[in-house]
Chains A and B, each alone.
Chain A
Amino acid sequence: SSGINAEYGIQTNLSRMRNLVSRVSRPFSRICAYRQLSSINDLKKTALFDFHVEKGGKMVDFAGWALPVSYPDMSHVESHLHTRKGVSIFDVSHMLQLHIHGKDRVKFMESLIVGDVAGLSEDTGTLSLLTNENGGIIDDCIVHKSSAGFLNLVCNAGCADKDYAHIMEHLSVAQSQGSDVDVEVKPKHGLIAVQGPKTAEVLQQGISDDLSRLYFNHTTLTDVWGIPCRVTRCGYTGEDGVEISVPEDRVVELVERLTATSEDVRLAGLGARDSLRLEAGLCLYGNDIDETTTPVEGALMWTIGKRRRAARDFPGANIIMDQFAAKPKQGRRRVGLIVEKAPARPHYPVLNTEGKVIGEITSGSPSPCTGKNIAMAYVDNEYTKNGTQVQVQVRKKKYVASKVAMPFVPTQYYNPPKN
């Protein structure tokens, strides 16, 4: 949805959820993270739905899917902090998983995303961006090059229909021009994220591959407790961890195997997922980036490989590269802020010290790890130096904020040792 992002919406009213173990009853909230469930039957369900409900998951509507925002054993903050000490499991099966086949698959992928796909080593991947002809961002995504002879693409659930239509439109053109390429939705597979410093130790118990050799952004096809899976060392929390693509009919089994290894392994929901990714400085599509933000404005130029920058061979390339070359004093850029006293929330105005509006908050939350209120905002380029003082308008009052470098909490990606 444009403008108002998919994750935040205006709460409707007091309502009760029938046929569910846990009662979601939010009496009031002007900025509620998730739309109140008026009817769970209208929502799509992952293969873990019954499992979530059985475990007391507080179910909410996220991008048309019924997903847990939290579980009864831990508060939001507890779950967040636990992820940085132990292991948290998130159900991310709602995300769009695609396979791209054919001799021309790399060329086709590069016609859609900004990354250097040709330059990827086998069984590695990267965060990338689908861009539009205006230089805006259609979605952020993860692409992996599989040694099994195809590309693996994971896109946001909130953009699934849009991305799929966009990709299929381009596919149709490519095929009509004789390209040997095809795209299919990966059938009947769930996706779980297993995140936290103890992930490798826990997962190693079910996998024969040496996880100490599976580095950040590397992927492998392997059996996990006898279940054929794709295991990729990546995630959305800033912690070491993996995402596991698993046959739908065995995802419950996998989650139960994981939770059985140790008390340190806990289920986690969308609430903690959002505060974790914000601490890690990771964008939420729809909030921090959208079709009106370029990779220059979004401070995401690193996703555009050197070769691609020179070739200008991705949608909107000329607009993006011209904007980048100009290094304008005008225009806006995405920055991190620490806000005093009050939490900042999406759409709160950002002002300079004189009270002039210079931007807007796109994401914000109290940060459990730092104890501070952190936020992402777009501000006019002259206010983007570290330490710059600005103000955030929180309802009727203004609070002092400072621009800081992100991530707010150091990341722990499992990178190979530097030689």
Chain B
Amino acid sequence: KSRYQTCKAVVSTQSTGSHEWVNVQGSLGRVGITDHAQAALGDVVFVDIPEVDLDVDVGDEIASVESVKAVGDVASPIGGIVVAVNEALSDSPTLVNSSPEEDAWIAEIEISDMSALEGLMDKEAYDKFLLEG
């Protein structure tokens, strides 16, 4: 089952909202951006994927997803080591639009601290959040 995160909306020029999901299998977490995020971005033209072995803290920018007009930072909901990246996104960035929460996973991370998952929303809570803001 996937868990979701998004920053709370804060009225400040410094904070940015983000919409990522993490799907956990054992100690591995696959991370990507949500359907809501890809819809807002528009046609994705480029994905900047991380390097394998990258050491990631919760909240670190691990990737960028670009459309014609916008560059979106992908903040990791979990901390750990990147053990795999989705090379398919180099050749087919539009996978993010067509399958944002399945085929367009960005990185797989060996999670160092599972307690980070506790702060995340489940799908029901996320969908509710999208409706209410």
Contact = CB atoms under 8 A, between A and B. Distances in A.
Contacts of A15: 9
Interface string A62-73: 000000010000
Interface string A24-50: 011111111100001000000000000
Interface centre among A14, A31, A271, A345 (most CB of B within 10 A): A14
Contacts of A277: none
Given A14-B9, A30-B16, A30-B73, A341 B46 contact: yes
B16 A368 contact: no
Contacts of B18: 27-28
A76 interface: yes
Contacts of A395: 48, 64
Contacts of A30: 16, 64, 71-73
Contacts of B16: 11, 13, 28-30
Nearest to B67: A76
Interface string B1-33: 000001101111101111100000000000000
Interface stretch (B36-44, B105-113, B115-123): B36-44
A27 B36 contact: yes
B92 to A, nearest CB: 13
Interface centre among B6, B18, B71 (most CB of A within 10 A): B71
Given A14-B9, A76-B68, A345-B71, A27 B17 contact: yes
Interface in B66-115: 66-73
Say what secondary structure dominates the interface of chain A: loop
A88 interface: no
Contacts of B41: 26, 29
B93 to A, nearest CB: 10
Given A75-B42, A343-B46, A13 B69 contact: no
B54 to A, nearest CB: 11
A25 B69 CA distance: 14
Interface residues of B, number: 32
Contact of A342 (B12, B48, B68, B72): B48
A33 B70 contact: yes
Nearest to A24: B40
A16 B133 contact: yes
B133 to A, nearest CB: 6
Contact of A12 (B7, B12, B69, B70): B12
A32 B66 CA distance: 10
A274 B71 CA distance: 16
A366 interface: yes
B9 A275 contact: no
Given A27-B18, A28-B73, A343-B45, A365 B9 contact: no
A343 B47 CA distance: 10
A27 B19 contact: yes
A397 interface: yes
A95 interface: no
Q: Nearest 3 CB-CB pairs, A to B? A: A29-B70, A14-B17, A14-B9
Given A28-B18, A395-B48, 18 more contacts: A11-B16, A13-B9, A13-B10, A14-B133, A25-B40, A27-B18, A27-B40, A27-B72, A28-B17, A28-B73, A30-B71, A32-B69, A33-B69, A76-B67, A342-B46, A342-B66, A366-B68, A394-B48
8 contacts: A11-B16, A25-B36, A26-B41, A27-B6, A29-B16, A30-B73, A77-B43, A397-B48
